[in-house]
Structure 1
């Protein structure tokens, strides 16, 4: 077993700066593209407080994969309403970050390279979505790992708050007062 460092580092300072500059330019371009294309419109979809029309296909694709083994697919609309209420109670800064996450997932120029899903969310298979989630979960980029955790936490909190989920996990419900 060797404890010495390699003679040439895998990524030099200059390489790191070039990568950072390129990534910053890419994200700035994607953000500008999202705002110009109307992808980041702030108006909610019909019947929702915060979820936008562009967020719904993403969530419809993610719910059966993230909540596999539960009855969440049968309660998808109720789950989306619960999630929408959760998002409505977030601080403006947290809601903005969540919307930016959905924008990155919705915009084709960022969705493809960052998730590996090059087509629409409606056409993505469960295997493609699982691969995207594994990719983000084990990413070397902290931002992608945080995005993965956010998606899981948002959907799991919304699902396990619903009475339909309680029997499945053995929770009898809140105590009667």
Structure 2
């Protein structure tokens, strides 16, 4: 690559990042500290994570709408507990991802989702996640993998979900 091309690329990237930063100014942060300083998902981040959880774990939720809503809220609370145990650098990165995804520009640019997360149907969120997964832009694919892996790890580590999956729990070797 020629020096002039590299300089144009650097200048263009810097301009793009500056514009993106201006678009996110005033946006609610993805993670917010509660009264004790523990990071928690902001309301907009919970909407993102709730939509992603329903899409990624489709078929694992209770069929009854009220039970599903309670299970989803419990899952998002468990997600907060998992995030609180992350190293500060990882919390910061996840907070940035949630901040971007909870903004309209970030949702459209990163996930390709036109509808707000809270209003989008499961099929639309699944299509957006597949768009991220198949993207040639590694940032999109990494964001998809992080969201999917985080939800699966939290969901399947909960003993309350094991029976729905047909897993009897760990064997005792005494």
Answering whether residue 118 of structure 2 is matched by residue 122 of structure 1, we say yes
SS of the residue corresponding to residue 43 of structure 1 reads: strand
Deviations 1:97-147 (A, max 9, x none): 001110110111222122222232122122221121111111111111110
Residue aligning to 1:97: 93
1:61–1:121 contact (8 Å) kept in structure 2: yes
Residue aligning to 1:87: 83
1:136–1:145 contact (8 Å) kept in structure 2: yes
Between the two proteins, the alignment pairs up a number of residues equal to 164
Residue aligning to 2:48: 58
TM-score, normalised relative to structure 2: 0.79
Deviates more, 1:68-77 or 1:130-139: 68-77
TM-score, normalised relative to structure 1: 0.78
Deviations 1:66-110 (A, max 9, x none): 101102672111101111111000000000000111011011122
CA distance in 1, matches of 2:5, 2:117: 34
CA distance in 2, matches of 1:163, 1:43: 28
Residue aligning to 2:157: 161
Residue aligning to 1:70: 60
Residue aligning to 1:43: 32
CA distance in 2, matches of 1:27, 1:45: 30
CA distance in 2, matches of 1:40, 1:56: 11
Distance of aligned partners of 1:168 and 1:107 in 2 relative to their CA distance in 1, 3 Å threshold:
same
Structure 2: runs of 5+ lacking an equivalent: none
Structure 1: runs of 5+ lacking an equivalent: 1-11
Distance of aligned partners of 1:62 and 1:45 in 2 relative to their CA distance in 1, 3 Å threshold:
farther
